[in-house]
Structure 1
Amino acid sequence: MTVDLLVTDAYLYIDRGWEVANGWLAIKDGRVHAIGDGSRDAPAAQSVISAQGRLVTPGLVNAHHHMYQNLTRAYAPVTNGTLFEWLQGLYPLWADLDEESVYLSTSVAMVELLMGGCTTSMDHMYVHPRPFLIDAQFRAARDIGFRFHATRGSMTRSVEDGGLPPASVVQDEDTILADSERLVAAFHDPAPGAMGRVALAPCSLFSVSERIMTESARLAEKHDLRLHTHLAEDHDEDSYCAEIYGCTPTEYFERVGWATPRSWVAHYIYPTGDEIDRLARAGVCTAQCPCSNMMIGGGTADALDMRRRGMRVGLGCDGSASTDHASMWLETRMALLLGRFRHGPHAMSARDALDMATRGGAACLGWEDEIGHLRPGACADLVIWSMSEVAAAGALSDPVEAWLRCAPAAAGTTIVNGRVLVSDGVPLLANLGDILRDHAREARRIQRLDR
């Protein structure tokens, strides 16, 4: 049998507890077909890529992002604000989003993620000043060949209702629910190997009505979907829930029917130990966003403690206007440093961080059977990592540890669904120059630099 693509001369990190030095990996029909070491004959292949001894891992999985926000990266008036100050400063700008700006920002985000070794990402699109914005995201994912798990975000409470955003970016309940049904029918593919799926994702407990929370849970059950939201991200959220609902954010999350294996939450910085235990028993997963949380200075989830309590934890780069980048490699390195800083040098290894960035993210998306590992039958989403000879000089004993310690690393080759999308560090997207030019124009418009 001839396979489609063969990666040879690689140090293969296939999954937890399975690594092959001097290995090869065969791809056929978008799937991992077979794995072997140098002592086994590899199958004939239409194309062969030599990893030249470099580390090959599963593609990283981004479990929390806001792709449109790269239109307002490092926006000077709010760069040193708190979370709520940051949001209040940017919501009026995001009110100018339209289909073209969302298509362009999504394209840039996906290319940036590919260059950082990410092959599957969700996106939390919760700002809807105009219709069909998520449709534009699916067009971008299709044009690039990226594996995409969109989440239909929503907000119902504007400043007039005691919320943070202007009225122009929130929607009424019936519009949100009807559009959720439309997007599921149009884009959600539950089949194995899907390139596009949809989840439901009210922005936060303080930005939507109780009806949206409960109806989203009902729709998720009806259509077998995942659920996502921000949770326990800021102390102001505690105060809000105590005043409005007479309980903590986690207690409200449970009250509205979200404490199920369908759910994963972003941040989860300020729960109690008992709350973590309850959500872990319920099967809820968490996405830690190390760089974004530290940039805003709002603390960060204790991922190691959550994992010890039985909660699955993935990683997310969060919005590119808070962390200002979309490198899942950098988030993985930062998760390693945070874990060791918080719990000591014996607490966390590079393999633990890699597990969060692969298996952990796949668990958040409910996709662990097919992505986040390279076992035969898995989706052929993988990365051949590249590092300069200077940065890697002397790193001879452990390529996985060296991958995060000897910075920086980047994706030399990124493969999604068996297709090479980044080669020699360069994205294989013919119109990338046009996208960047048009993105710059839209960023100037949204930041109001031409007015």
Structure 2
Amino acid sequence: MPVDRIVIENCAIATVDAQGTEHASGHVVVAGDRVESVAAGPAPRGLADVARRVDGTGHLLTPGLVNTHHHFYQWLTRGLAQDCNLFDWLTALYPTWARVDEDMVYAAALGSLAVMARGGVTTAMDHHYVFPRGAGDLLGAEIRAAREVGVRFTAARGSMDLGASDGGLPPDFAVETTDAALAATEEAVDTHHDASFGSMLQIAVAPCSPFSVTTELLRESAALARRKGVRLHTHGSETVEEEKFCHERFGTGPTAYLESAGWLGEDVWMAHCVHMSDADIAAFARTGTGVAHCPSSNARLAAGLARVPDLLAAGVPVGLGVDGTASNESGELHTELRNALLINRLGPHREKALTVRQALRLGTYGGARVLGRQDQIGSIEPGKLADLVLWKLDGLAHSTIADPVAALVLGAPAPVTLALVGGRPVVEAGRLTAVDEDAVARRARDEARRLARIAAEG
């Protein structure tokens, strides 16, 4: 049966394939939801069933960006606790976050997803772990928002069962029981997870962090995920305070503790991983455990500098994450390409830390690998899903940068002329195709004000 084709041509192309193939001027043919071909020069004439031709002159075509760590609900609490480290920031904001409800989470998810999609994200991920009693279907609200915006979505069903009275960081009213968390997580997998090649929705099992969950929840969650064949996600080695907490409570560092609970493996990825020893990096490399690098959030909360060059040299899968927008108020992943490169050059490797092409790979193929979808997305290759972004680089902010990848990574945020998810446009000429951006902004503002009012009332 014939399928409609989209032809994008006359643009620079960074395929981010294994060889790093690039074309100064090339074309891509999309057939249905897949990449049919990619090559230098103009597209062949005489192609059948071409529904659309896009002239990409002055543009760079890349794979869609893949976000590997986020907390959508924090869209409603941006700009607060501005001068705190992680533990103080969490302590300041948990009382507000514990008042979220379904309408708030839906509005926050729409805002988070809209900004990311407009900035080139085609696969989003969220780690939601705050489930106040009677708040409604919070995970369902996020799933509905992702469906409306039109991006692929990995929903990590988070959980916390270690409240302050038991030695954890979150207040008691913000946590679930262990059994309730496990039951709700299993229900989320059974109801929503789609393991198919072109899946738009996958579920991961995601207890929050070593300082907010019990060892029992970690172990049982790992067993649940492996029984169901889904991936595992948590925070790890984010701060020196976390390192101290683990040594005091468990007698070992975060990596060794998590490994003892079954939390290293090719089906696991962890956010941040800032304070990693050589032995920790070796353990991640040996087991294939992935890392979501969140440079802006790490800087905002003074968490430290992740050893990304050393992780990559060891063969550890590394992708990029926005993290929650209460610690990365821009909410955009394409800014993380630049920040990953610049921040890592402040470390011991200096100018050799990362190249612009390594930064682009982190945000595309690296993220796909972290999410276990590297055979489907993350590079422009025949047979892969047509998740593509066309970046405009001939305008005022970029026209004098001859290297298009350098323009994208080092330059100002580039406008997105076209973004495709499975061959379907989600962004056209810098605007979202499926949702009204102004309406999304108004709704999020109203829900943020409602949340602030409820939190102030106690």
Q: Same fold (TM over 0.5)?
A: yes
| Alignment match, 1:274 | 279
| Alignment match, 2:156 | 151
Distance, in Å, in 1 between the alignment partners of 2:265 and 2:40 is 41
Picking from 364, 371, 392, the partner of 2:398 is: 392
- The answer as to whether partners of 1:267 and 1:300 remain within 8 angstroms in 2 is no
CA distance 1:430–1:202, change in 2 (3 Å): closer
| Alignment match, 2:100 | 97
| Alignment match, 1:377 | 383
| Alignment match, 1:323 | 328
* 1:135 Cα deviation after fit: 1.0
| Alignment match, 1:346 | 352
- The answer as to whether partners of 1:349 and 1:401 remain within 8 angstroms in 2 is no
- The answer as to whether partners of 2:58 and 2:393 remain within 8 angstroms in 1 is no
Picking from 200, 206, 212, the partner of 1:207 is: 212
Picking from 175, 179, 195, the partner of 1:170 is: 175
Q: Does the residue aligned with 1:96 lie in a helix, a strand or coil?
A: coil
Distance, in Å, in 2 between the alignment partners of 1:270 and 1:394 is 39
CA distance 1:214–1:2, change in 2 (3 Å): closer
Distance, in Å, in 2 between the alignment partners of 1:212 and 1:226 is 15
| Alignment match, 2:10 | 9
Distance, in Å, in 1 between the alignment partners of 2:213 and 2:272 is 18
Per-residue CA deviation, residues 387-438 of structure 1 (Å, 9 max, x unaligned), is 4622223222x21112222223232221111111111111113443333222
Picking from 99, 106, 109, the partner of 2:109 is: 106
RMSD over aligned Cα atoms: 1.6
Distance, in Å, in 1 between the alignment partners of 2:186 and 2:4 is 39
Q: Structure 1 stretch 156-165 or stretch 288-297: which is displaced more?
A: 156-165
Distance, in Å, in 1 between the alignment partners of 2:119 and 2:87 is 29
Q: Does the residue aligned with 2:425 lie in a helix, a strand or coil?
A: strand
| Alignment match, 2:54 | 49
- The answer as to whether partners of 1:116 and 1:326 remain within 8 angstroms in 2 is no
| Alignment match, 2:84 | 81
| Alignment match, 1:292 | 297
Matched, 1:435 2:429: no
Gaps of 5+ in 1: none
Distance, in Å, in 2 between the alignment partners of 1:216 and 1:348 is 35
| Alignment match, 1:121 | 124
| Alignment match, 2:314 | 309
- The answer as to whether partners of 1:60 and 1:357 remain within 8 angstroms in 2 is yes
Gaps of 5+ in 2: none
- The answer as to whether partners of 1:9 and 1:23 remain within 8 angstroms in 2 is yes
Q: Structure 1 stretch 434-443 or stretch 37-46: which is displaced more?
A: 37-46
CA distance 1:409–1:39, change in 2 (3 Å): closer
User: Aligned runs of 1:351-370 on 2, under 5 Å?
Assistant: 351-370=357-376
* 1:144 Cα deviation after fit: 1.7
CA distance 1:79–1:39, change in 2 (3 Å): closer
Q: Which amino acid aligns with 2:302?
A: G
| Alignment match, 2:451 | 446
Q: Which amino acid aligns with 2:44?
A: D
Q: Which amino acid aligns with 1:259?
A: L
| Alignment match, 2:411 | 406
Picking from 33, 36, 40, the partner of 2:39 is: 36
